[in-house]
Structure 1
Amino acid sequence: MSEVRSTCPYCGVGCGVLLKADGQGGLAVRGDPDHPANFGRLCSKGSALGETVGLEGRLLTPRVQGQEASWDDALQLVADRFQQTIAEHGPDSVAFYVSGQLLTEDYYVANKLMKGFIGSANIDTNSRLCMASSVAGHKRAFGTDTVPGTYEDLDEADLIVLVGSNLAWCHPVLYQRVLAARKARGTRIVVIDPRRTASCDAADLHLPLAPGSDVALFNALLSQIQQRGAADADFLTHVEGADQAFAAAHESRLDPTGLDETLVQQFIDLWIGTQKVVTVYSQGVNQSSSGSDKVNAILNCHLATGRIGKPGCGPLSVTGQPNAMGGREVGGLANMLACHLDIENAQHRSVVREFWSSPTMPEAPGLKAVDMFRAVGSGKIKALWVIHTNPAVSMPDADAVSAAIAGCDFTVVSDITAQTDTARLADVLLPASAWGEKDGTVTNSDRTISRQRAALPAPGQARPDWAILAEVGRRMGWTAGFDYETPAEIFREYAALSGIAGRFGRDFDISGLGDLDDAGFDALQPTRWPVSAARQGGRFFADGQFFHDGGKARMLALHHKVPEAKTGPRYPFRLNTGRIRDQWHTMTRTALSPRLSAHLAEPFVEIHPQDAADQGIAPADLVQLRSPQGSAILRARITDAVQPGQVFAPMHWTGETAPCARIDAVVAAVTDPVSGQPESKASVVAVDRFAAKWYGFAVCQGDIDPRAEYWARARTRQGWRVEMAGLSEITDWEAEACRLFALSDAQVQSLIDVKRGLARIAFHADGRLLAALFVAPQPVAVMRDYLANLPGQDSSDALTGRPPADRPDPGPTLCSCFDVGVNTILTAVETQGLMSVEQVGAALQAGTNCGSCRPEIAALLAQVHQREAAE
């Protein structure tokens, strides 16, 4: 089979991939050396894509009320129920909640159907949780949602500032680009983040500012820019509001940042003293009740100095999804029209309506994500269509969102699996094609449009999302508006509409691609917009031309705002949430990969050693987080990477993988008043030790049915590994193990000490291990990574919980790209005298692909050398 050029479906870097199907459902994946986003590099997640394309768990036929149905019946029901709801309650009684997992062509059809034909702006996207504050900041400063620079700026910068961005783990390919610039030209790196992350490993400076205090810090910088004469007077002739912004900055105080003034001065000296500065920002900025102000505080500094739109200069918003940018372009947000046109502008509405020949057009923004689900809960929205996202887990106040969806009169979910928290609540499930089966385009964080091409056939009855949406549009009576046969046809229409936007002076114009025939669309190479007769790609704003009326940029007068939730005796800790290196969103895809699941196999919360001591929490204890919204149980990781009074927990676990660890059930639904983006970094919680009566660890080949207050499972090459803990006494552990594994007929081997609360039970067939359970009154002490690989093997000694002398234990996976464990690295360090990360890479390959594990390798080396020095 020949290789197919496509694009990775994970973060907004937009890496090119080469896909090769084996003809049996498998897929080989490697980086595309010719793609300008990654030049052949892939992160651990991208490298493991071939492990995630199997049919396990795939939704293959439509389902209505849990029963298989024909496409004809399912789509007619969807069309009828939406039409009936609109007829009885008006167009604003229905809503679409869509996703950055959609291709641009899917997004375009969804937006056209809702806004142009249904006549409501109630379409929003999970990108609202990711980059809405960046959109708002761009529009306030520039007049439109324009990313000024390109990835090449990272190669040419002399200073790169990472603000609220753990680039090393969340965008590893870009981080490697930063490290390459550091090596080639001595680029300095500053990290601004309350938490010490992997991105701090190579940083020249880390500013652990207090949560939510970014505006105060960048106001201090802006004040010094003016006082030191670093403002660019010529460029400021193209900017409005500078005097007011400077005045507000002079009034600002550093107290809220909690930073030492000397550290702040070092940062300011670096920023002002370096001409080529790129400020990269992500969720730590955006996910805030003052996220839009944080974005504008950063933009103020670049506008004041004219460091924007020039090589090696400018702000760079990095997005979390593969097509978050494409969703912004087509109007996938409730407050936008397609092609960066404005829904509240009568002329814009008129030309889009005329172009679409649509019957109607809303005159005001629709409901943004948090308000949308509140409206579902109150009954205002009576028909909801969720596409490729899992809001019952990922939205703040997730339990309330789950209840709202469950109570909705009519819910449709389009997805690749029925096994998500949201899909389980649907009245109608529609099987959609998945990545690797899709055909269309996506746009990455630096405005590069790339093709996603199908390398595998869609299984069962799965269909492309654009085709599903278009068929519903036709069945609702709008045949001409949705008479599409190919994604190329949709792309041409979209490109033509962008030309109209260009004539209105909008930034987004790809009308130069509007004449592509099907063959040209199929062959389309990565292309950075704009693509028009007037302009081809490149950077924006170095010429001082902006998109506000009058053509000037705007600086904003900003003031620090404290997070809405206040800590106190009842909820003394500030909760920060985020991502881990090898998992993606709610793990619908990445949890299928054993090697991605092996790095951090269990939900956890990071807590400072002093706080842990005060709360009586020991390493490996379980802890319960409680907030006014809900609670979660997670494993304690005691570390000084977080500051006292702060805790950090990842957002990936779900009802499928760890029902008690759905961290967004704890997060308050507080939003930025401008962008509507939720504050996911500053909720308040109480942290208490979870006093379980027993703890368990299990491995198995087949299904497992844990029933306990706490359980978390992860995929292994041999089946599953499961952590458990419970509050109820279990008197017969052998019977419980038989129930747990459904292995009542297997040969049982057990060691049980009732008095001490210990139990070890193994199940065998034909001399091979099927499953094993280990129970203790405290966290179970066994070699988990060794045991995880035992099912299916001849393992008569499994109950020892540790490997025999002739079988080395690789330990927890550290390098997922090459499946290298901690113990393997430690052994090589000790036996081969390895002294550096580079030497470890040369010996074991660890850290030589995406590089995101290099900080952990460096930490291991430091521990070994520190121990040797002490000896």
Structure 2
Amino acid sequence: MDALPPPAALTRTTCPYCGVGCGVLAAPDGRVVGDPEHPANRGRLCSKGTALGETLDLPGRLLHPEVRGKRASWDAALDAVAEGLRRAQSELGRDGVALYVSGQLLTEDYYAANKLAKGFLGTGNIDSNSRLCMASAVAAHRRAFGEDVVPGVYEDLEEADLVVLVGSNLAWCHPVLFQRIAQARALRPSLRLVIIDPRRTPSVEGADLHLAIRPGSDVALFNALLAHLDAGGHADAAFVEAHTRGLDRALAAARADAANAAERTGLDPADLDAFLDLFAGTPRVVTLWSQGINQSETGTDGANAIINAHLLTGRIGKPGAGPFSVTGQPNAMGGREVGALANILAGHLDWAVPGEAEIVRAHWNAPNLAAGPGLKAVELFQAVSAGRVGALWVMATNPAVSLPDGEAAREALARAPFLVVSDCMANTDTMAHAHVRLPALGWAEKSGTVTNSERVISRQRGFLRAPGEARPDWWIVAGVAARLGWGADFAWDGPAAIFREHAALTGLGNRGRRAFDISGLAGMTDADYEAMAPTRWPVPAAGPAPARFFADGAFPAGRARFVAVSQADQPADDGRLTLLTGRLRDQWHTMTRTGGVPRLMAHAPEPVLAVHPADAAGIEDGALARITGHGGAGAVLRLRHDTGQRRGTAFAPMHWTAQAAPAARVNGTVPPVFDPVSGQPALKSARVALSAFSPAWHGFLLARRDLGPGIADWAAVALAGEGLWRHELAGKEAPAEAFARLLALLPAEGADWARLEDPSAGLHRGVLLREGRAEAVLFVGPHHRLPARDWLAAVLAGDGAAPLGALLAGRAADGPPPSPTLCVCHGISQAAVRGAVRGGACSVAAVGEATRAGTGCGSCRPEIAALLAAEMAPA
């Protein structure tokens, strides 16, 4: 990469992906690097972050407002939104409208949307897609502490003597945090790492202990830990006596689960005992959890079981010790702060606390304030489907893909009498149903703040001009409010004014009772706001701000509460698999950004279902397989045998959409079950049946244009290079018929199809040649065992020059077999890494020196370690 401009020409902003909240430096030409001065990442970025510059000019942006499918002016579009909201409330009452917002919004956007919904429309029906990611952690914090407060900071992960990752594939989902832990372990080998996860994920490589727990049995495990800590005399009696309540009931429940914990968790008793002893004997412990806990029917109980163990031992709020929930989205925390969840008010205020609703009402001058909580995500969409919500406004999210009971969610969107969608992309699964489409600013264009998982508020600063007529989300909300008669209450001149209003609210009536207090920032000028450095809350207007919460007690509820929780009965074994859904290393949510970057698609270019070979029902590795779940809904994915998958489970990524692989959308198989306390959907406990999917033909097409997924009964489409699209295909018709039909989709004007066919065997291959260079290749056969695509894709992504025989064979005649990409930063294949190991590289660092693999963002280092172990193991 060429040298970046001098610092004065760079924009200091924040990455838009996970909740780590990494700082980035952006050049005017769109190049992006990590910000070495940001406390979250200190210059590091993951694979997605390093590719941010490649997402800035993606096709498919929504550039103009549209009403009922036709381009409209902003005035006409905002008029239509206001009239749709007004009409729905006239027909159905206050709660006849709803907003569904997103952790992709900036805090100022979130604040404006929540103020409109709860303060002026007078409905609690505003919820965030963060309900799907961290609502159970929020509920657990509120039950235990009296307020939603994360007591830990990232430095604790480096200062701990034991880090326990629970339901968190940190190496892939929060890679920069994982790299910070890895570096700390390299400098201080005594730092131990335990992974609690049904899957042997990349995070497990190099861990001291892996507990492949039965899905959904986390409460039993941490109850066993609580009982063990108490029985062994590891309680901090002084802390418990002075600062907590409820221990006796929590211990009684814990002892009942501890009696048969190994059986309930499915763990080897020796491994269970090793974990209990390690936790008990290590004073500085951080227990970090994520979606494996939260996305459960008992997610809140699981989080409280973790917190209980830390309260009992006083391991909270101290350097290197505490329970630590990490969020999935860049501004999930900001949404919590401004009340953009249906059950809370702005500023951590609460309807249930006398006088707090009045504080919000007065601050907003909002006589129409919602009387109480509204509908949470799953129930909200059920209400839309049932006709109880007449107008729905979706902002910066894609619920048609992400919600459980996916087909019902899509049906609700289709049946909504009035649907508004604000987004930066024109063609999402959700946008397809919209009556009004509003073009919002994208990451590189908008300005505001976000709050990461350690409570650090960072500025996001735009560095590109707004494309077309795109506008900030807060500006859109304010425009609708003005048309409904509330213009004076939304008359902000920019995000700084919104932030000041938000900050001022956090200090009202507080007097130290609420931990979230940033009233000390309420007096910032616009210039102060523009220059704002990363700032961890609290920042009260008066008095000291603690660096860490709760080491000396001072819980918002007065005393922390031990919550008595009991392990729910596990479903009986009925021969089906428990489906675990989650993220891939290089992808983000529904791939509207990352799916447009070829190197981010290289690591996992098609939807895959991982199962243990013993659970594969005789289906061959690499074949297509069907899972059938809730209500008979199914999905078809490429099967991968994975001995690291716990028996009785399957794993599938949640990213694939109808735009790329309509038959591989897995959330349709997930029932609309949710945690009764938090309302968070149970996205990791669906029961699915596995069966073979047996089409008449399999194939792939590499072409210089996207032909879409509708060209075959089963298809998955992904970028394979600059201007090159990979189509994985299968269908019911005869192979010869499929081959002929697909050839016709690419007219050979000025070009010729060179073919190699054996109709009796069902084998058909074609290369579209123009002036001797390949324009496209099409392979069709009766089974899935076709040549690897990587070499062909590399040829077509280049100049298309290669011998015809090699093209029809699918590999270079004198080269090594094609191999999948492992390191996307430098384009290094698995074969290259294996070659380096066989050539004498005996460590991850040595592999990096030989190949450059793992020397970029570092996200692939666990996989390199796994290959090293496999290659160096005795035959």
Q: Which amino acid in the other structure matches residue 622 of structure 2?
A: A
| 1:258 pairs with one of 235, 249, 266 | 266
Task: Look up the SS of the partner of 1:789 in the other structure.
Answer: helix
From 118, 128, 131, the counterpart of 1:128: 131
2:467 aligned counterpart, secondary structure: coil
Residue of 219, 222, 231 corresponding to 1:227? 231
Contact 1:696 1:780 (C-alpha < 8 Å) held by counterparts = no
Matched residue, 2:601: 597
Structure 1: how far apart are the matches of 2:766 and 2:757? 8
Task: Give distance in 1, aligned partners of 2:739 and 2:604.
Answer: 29
Q: 1:691 aligns with which of 683, 691, 694?
A: 694
User: For 1:739 and 1:374, how far apart are their aligned partners in 2?
Assistant: 44
Change (3 A) 1:810 1:844: farther
Q: Which amino acid aligns with 1:187?
A: L
Aligned-residue identity in percent: 54
Q: Which residue of 1 aligns with 2:637?
A: 634
- Give the gaps of 5 or more residues in structure 1: none
Q: What amino acid is the match of 1:562?
A: D
Residues 46-445 of structure 1: pairs in structure 2 closer than 5 A: 46-185=49-188, 186-237=190-241, 238-252=243-257, 253-254=260-261, 255-445=263-453
Residue from 754, 776, 779 that aligns with 1:774: 779
Larger displacement relative to structure 2 (151-160 or 763-772): 763-772
Q: C-alpha displacement at 1:534, in angstroms?
A: 2.0
Tell me, yes or no, if structure 1 residue 568 matches structure 2 residue 574.
yes
Deviations 1:792-849 (A, max 9, x none): 422342532433246666621101122211122233333x422221101112221123
Deviations 1:157-190 (A, max 9, x none): 0000000001111111101111122122221000
Residue 539 (structure 1) shift: 0.6
**Given that residues 567 and 684 in structure 1 are in contact (C-alpha distance below 8 angstroms), is that contact kept between their aligned partners in structure 2?**
no
1:611 is matched with which residue?
A: 615
Deviation of residue 566 (structure 1)?
5.3
Shift of 1:251: 1.4
CA 1:703–1:746: 2 relative to 1, 3 Å? farther
CA deviation after TM superposition for structure 1 residue 225, in Å: 1.0
1:218-274 deviation digits (Å, cap 9, x = unpaired):
011100111111111110121010111111111113121011211111001100100
Residue identity matched to 1:464: P
1:639-650 superposed matches below 5 A: 639-650=642-653
Structure 2 letter corresponding to 1:591 = G
In the TM superposition, what whole-angstrom CA distance separates every residue of 1:765-812 from its partner, at most 9, and x where no partner exists? 233222111001011421311111222422342532433246666621
C-alpha distance in structure 1 between counterparts of 2:582 and 2:303, whole Å:
19
Deviations 1:529-557 (A, max 9, x none): 00112233511001111111xx1010011
Change in 2 beyond 3 A, CA 1:70/1:199: same
- Residue 208 of structure 1: how far off its partner (Å): 0.7
AA matched with 1:765 = R
Distance 1:744 1:667, change over 3 A: farther
Bigger shift: residues 407-416 or 339-348: 339-348
Paired residue type of 1:201: E
Match of 2:721 among 714, 717, 723: 717
Q: Is the 8 A contact 2:121 2:368 kept in 1?
A: yes
In 1, the alpha carbon distance for the partners of 2:772 and 2:736 equals 28
**Partners of 1:364 and 1:370 in 2: how far apart?**
18
**Aligned equivalents of 1:534 and 1:738: distance in 2?**
73
Aligned match of 2:824: 816
TM-score (norm. length: structure 2) = 0.96
| Aligned twin of 2:550 | 541
Q: Structure 1's 566 and 669: CA in aligned 2 closer, same or farther, altered over 3 A?
A: farther
What amino acid maps onto 2:642 in structure 1? T
Contact 1:323 1:444 in 2 (8 A): yes
**Partner SS, residue 476 of structure 1:** helix
Q: Which residue of 1 aligns with 2:760?
A: 755
Distance 1:842 1:501 in 2: 58
> How far off its partner does 1:89 sit?
1.4
CA distance in structure 1 between the aligned counterparts of 2:545 and 2:554, rounded to whole angstroms: 16
Which of residues 842, 849, 853 in structure 1 aligns to 2:856? 849
The structure-2 alpha-carbon separation of the partners of 1:609 and 1:480, relative to structure 1 and needing over 3 Å to count, comes to same
- 8 Å contact from structure 1 (residues 583, 596) kept in 2: yes
Which of 793, 808, 819 lines up with 1:800 in the alignment? 808
- Of residues 793-802 and 119-128 in structure 1, the stretch that sits farther from structure 2 once superposed is 793-802
CA distance in 2 between counterparts of 1:728 and 1:608 reads 31
Do the aligned residues in 2 keep the contact of 1:103 with 1:442 (CA within 8 Å)?
A: yes
Report the Cα distance in structure 1 between the residues aligned to 2:578 and 2:103, rounded to whole angstroms. 29
SS at match of 1:455: coil
3-state SS, counterpart of residue 329 of structure 2: coil
- SS of the residue corresponding to residue 725 of structure 2 reads strand
Distance change (3 Å), C-alpha of 1:501 and 1:287: farther
Does residue 841 of structure 2 align to residue 837 of structure 1? no
1:123: Cα distance to partner?
Answer: 0.3
Contact 1:343 1:362 in 2 (8 A): no
Q: 1:764 aligns with which of 766, 769, 772?
A: 769
Is the CA contact 2:630–2:686 (under 8 Å) kept in the aligned structure 1? Answer: no
Aligned match for 1:788, one of 781, 789, 793: 793
Give 1:717 deviation, angstroms: 1.7
Partner of 1:468: 476
Q: How many residues align?
A: 856
Report SS of the residue matched to 1:794: coil
Q: Does the 8 Å CA contact 2:739/2:780 hold for their aligned counterparts?
A: no
Q: CA contact under 8 A between 1:511 and 1:531: conserved in structure 2?
A: yes
Mark the CA change 1:296 to 1:766 in structure 2 (over 3 Å): closer, same or farther: same
Three-state SS of the structure 1 residue aligned to 2:510 is: helix
Which residue of the partner structure matches residue 584 of structure 1? 588
The letter for the 2-side match of 1:435 is W
Distance 2:164 2:755 in 1: 56
What are the equivalent positions in structure 2 for 1:486-497 lying under 5 Å apart? 486-497=494-505
CA contact (8 A) 2:630 2:668 kept: no
Structure 2 stretches of 5 or more lacking a match? none
Mapped partners of 2:129, 2:840: distance in 1 = 48
Could you give the per-residue CA deviations for residues 620-650 of structure 1, whole angstroms, max 9, x where no partner exists?
0100000133100000010111122111111
Q: Show the counterpart of 1:45.
A: 48
Structure-2 separation of matches of 1:441 and 1:536: 20
Whether the aligned pair in 2 keeps the contact of 1:785 and 1:809 (CA below 8 Å) is no
C-alpha separation in 2, matches of 1:724 and 1:581: 24
Matched, 1:623 2:625: yes
Q: Tell me if 1:451 matches 2:459.
A: yes
Q: Displacement of 1:504 after TM fit?
A: 6.7
**SS of structure 1 residue aligned to 2:328:** coil
2:680 aligned residue (671, 677, 685): 677
Contact 1:704/1:741 (8 A) holds in 2: no
SS in 2 for 1:732: helix
Comparing 849-858 with 302-311, greater Cα deviation is found at 849-858
For residue 13 of structure 1, report the CA deviation from its aligned partner. Answer: 0.3
Q: 1:734 to 1:676 in 2, by over 3 A?
A: closer
1:735 aligns with 2:744: no
Mapped to 1, the partners of 2:195 and 2:561 lie a distance apart of: 27
Instruction: Tell me by how many angstroms 1:437 deviates.
Output: 0.6
Is 1:34 the counterpart of 2:24 in the alignment? no
